Amino acid sequence: MGDQELPGVLVSGFEGPRGICEDHVRDLQKHFNLITMQEFLKNKTQFSQKIQAVYIWAGWPVIDKELLESLPSLKIIANGGVGLDHLDLKLIASFGVKVANTPQAVSNPTADMGMALLLASARRLVEGHQLTISPDTKNFFINWMGQEVTGATLGIIGMGSIGYKIAQRAKAFEMKILYHNRTRRILAEEEAVGATYCEHLDDLLRQSDFVMLATSLTPRTHNMIGKRELRLMKRTGILINVGRGLLVDHDALVDALQTGIIKAAALDVTYPEPLPRDHPLLKLKNVTLTPHAGSATHQARRQMMENLVKSILASLNGLPIPNEVLLK
């Protein structure tokens, strides 16, 4: 079957920081005629009718009204990852277009990243590495210390798939687990990880040694951790964010870290990404930053690609769509 007979799928491109994974291109081309955004913009007349799906990788291509109006044959938008805050679901649904994402593929690696950041910030790994390799270091001071993790209290904000897997990992560290979520987990699930539900976020913040953000970004959760919430945390508390950057008021966080309101922070996500090179968070020793790499493993990204292929093919063949996102 030649490329011209394969269904057209719009992708961001094959190169650069927003290009689809190079290792996946050959597999995708077995099923689809991949049309880059650059190709489409150069010749909309040729490609508009051919494109039946959009393959979103790292949030690109951007979906707006103009693009939707220019794709009359579009049936599905397949989004790599679980977060959907970059998509206007009501707008997309108004065009009769379906949406699918890949929640299962990202849960384990993002939970791993959450625990990695917790451990790194608690034991000051990045700071310790810099101290160890510095040409100015002549002695290791015995009183250079971090925070204990085993037996500490972890407060998880957002007990979805990722949050629950973080709790499973934290249980192995004998941590006391609190969680705050829009809806409470069933008792059997709580008991399986030893988690206690906090109906009020303030209660979780006051009691936790570590606060882990693993919730999605919505109007309700935007800047949910601000000046007031940070002041409720323990002065020895550490904030970890593997959700979205806009969950946290960055100005309030900088102030809290500089003035000792909390001990440290570890962030896999910020807003914007990357931060401006003169941002104060980049200069603080008690901050650990990673480049939004929660799902960045070869295994997870391949599973994401395979899940997206299944969703697109199901949609094009009129079958139930795996991981379809239903508008609430």
Choosing from 24, 169, 292, 301, the catalytic residue is 292
Coil, strand or helix: which one is 187? helix
Q: Is 273 an active-site residue? A: yes
Those residues whose C-beta lies under 8 Å from the C-beta of residue 223, and which sit 6 or more positions away, are 246, 247, 248, 249
Choosing from 169, 244, 250, 301, the catalytic residue is 244
Report in angstroms the alpha-carbon separations of 20 from 23, 264, 317. Answer: 9, 34, 24
Strand pairing report for 98-100 and 51-56: unpaired
CA distance 74 to 146: 53
Whether the Cβ atoms of residue 321 and residue 314 lie closer than 8 Å to each other? yes
Beta carbons within 10 angstroms of residue 111's beta carbon: 24
Coil, strand or helix: which one is 271? coil
Whether the Cβ atoms of residue 290 and residue 12 lie closer than 8 Å to each other? no
Residue 53 class from Cβ within 10 Å (0-12 exposed, 13-18 middle, 19+ buried)?
buried
Helix axes 298-316, 103-122, angle to 10 degrees: 160
Q: Is 31 an active-site residue? A: no
CA distance 271 to 86: 13
Choosing from 273, 277, 301, 302, the catalytic residue is 273
- Residues carrying an active site annotation: 244, 273, 292
